[in-house]
Homo-oligomer: A and B are copies of this chain.
Amino acid sequence: MNSGAWLAANVYDDVNVYSREIAVPHFDARPVRIVDLAKELGLSVATVSRALNNSDSVRAELAEQIRSHAERRGYVANRLARSLRSRTRNFVGFLVPDIENLAYSIAADACARYMANSGYQLILAISGDDPQLEHSALRSLIEAQVAGLIVAPTAEMTPSTRALLTGSSVVEFNRTAGLSKYAVLCAEEAAFARATRHLLDLGHKSIAYIGTTDSLSNGHERLAGVRRELANAGTGLDPLWTRLLPPTEKDGYESARALLSGPSRPSALLVGSSNLSMGAARAVREMGIHVPDEMSLVVYGDSRWGELYEPGLTTVTAPYQDMARRVTDIVSRMVAGDGGIPFGRTRLEAELVVRRSTARPASESAGG
């Protein structure tokens, strides 16, 4: 029976048919080390190490022999020892508030895949937007001797956390707290100014904004964009129609319900975070508000699900793929000790995907 058939026959069984076979390896339970290989071959550890590292100072034939023996014995190098001795580092730390967020999972995906090519591994850490957790996560990452760090900082990063980062190579991602000379960000302010202008151009006068708290760098910038454009238009952002909240679906849902249940309703709603958008869109649907006839709606985030909403949602879409590519590029050069990294703090443009959730306001509400 070939292994393919054997596989096909058993692979979906719930019973653990392999347990006995797996549990009894031919060689010792303790992993085989270089010294073991050296003894078995009657060589010195130095020679074996060199052969395994493809050093050219080992006779080709012997090197091949050593490698095939290592393979046969199931030798797997201990990177901890290797790193310790050779002072090389193979880890990259990736610290984000929340990996379920597409901005971060796309970046993590790109980084992990790409860095693996050059022998690096990604250590994932989640801050949950909590400065305390952020501190301990960063400490742990530094303890793991990371070669570089990708960080989306929390709103209230503590001074001691900043101190911790002294001497580390960090690149900021998606958010900034002025930690590094490298950052990959989105041109949030411009994007939200454009979205606001889009609504103004359609004739909206009463525009509500639900966004993230001002202390997050991108929350700050998005709000600034909305404010700026509204100020230009001479309207200004009505505090009563502004909600600044933590970026969660629940907060989006609840604040949208609250905002839209009042006696007067804005003619347009602009939402400044993907999680908040998810919640707000759900609230709008649940409340039976007809979009765009009764109200225009602009959301933020991945544009895919905006297509599925009825009618298609006008969406501010951050260039997640490009941002991921860019941060991967920077961190890979950084850990390679590359001198002239040709990027500093970059802001990539967001796109305003206009769909059918935005339209001219109904006449009776056009005035405010």
Report the minimal beta-carbon distance from A273 to chain B, rounded to whole angstroms. 15
Tell me which residues across on chain B come within 8 A of A108, comparing CB atoms: 99, 124
Tell me which residues across on chain B come within 8 A of A14, comparing CB atoms: 345, 347
Contact with B along A150-181 (1 / 0, CB 8 A): 00000000010001111100000000111111
The complex is assembled from copies of this chain, and their number is 2
Q: Among B29, B84, B106, which residue has its beta carbon within 8 angstroms of that of A100?
A: B106
| Chain A positions 99-129 with a Cβ under 8 Å from a chain B Cβ | 99-100, 102, 105-106, 108-109, 112-113, 116, 119, 121-126, 128
Q: Determine the distance from Cα of A181 to Cα of B14 in the docked complex, in whole angstroms.
A: 9
**Contact, CB under 8 Å: B76 / A139:** yes
Task: Given A14-B345, A102-B100, A282-B308, verify A145-B112 contact (CB < 8 Å).
Answer: no
- A232 interface residue per 8 A CB criterion: no
Q: Determine the distance from Cα of A347 to Cα of B176 in the docked complex, in whole angstroms.
A: 42
**Contact, CB under 8 Å: B99 / A25:** no
Report the minimal beta-carbon distance from A163 to chain B, rounded to whole angstroms. 7
**Contact, CB under 8 Å: B309 / A143:** no
Task: Given A77-B143, A124-B124, verify A99-B94 contact (CB < 8 Å).
Answer: no
Q: List 7 A-B contacts (CB under 8 A).
A: A12-B178, A78-B145, A79-B144, A80-B80, A80-B83, A116-B140, A122-B124
Complex A-B, nearest 10 residue pairs according to Cβ-Cβ distance, in ascending order = A310-B310, A16-B181, A79-B143, A124-B124, A80-B80, A305-B305, A112-B126, A100-B105, A3-B159, A105-B105
Q: A121-B144, A278-B304, A281-B308 are in contact. List 6 more A-B contacts (CB 8 A).
A: A7-B178, A80-B83, A100-B105, A116-B125, A116-B140, A278-B308
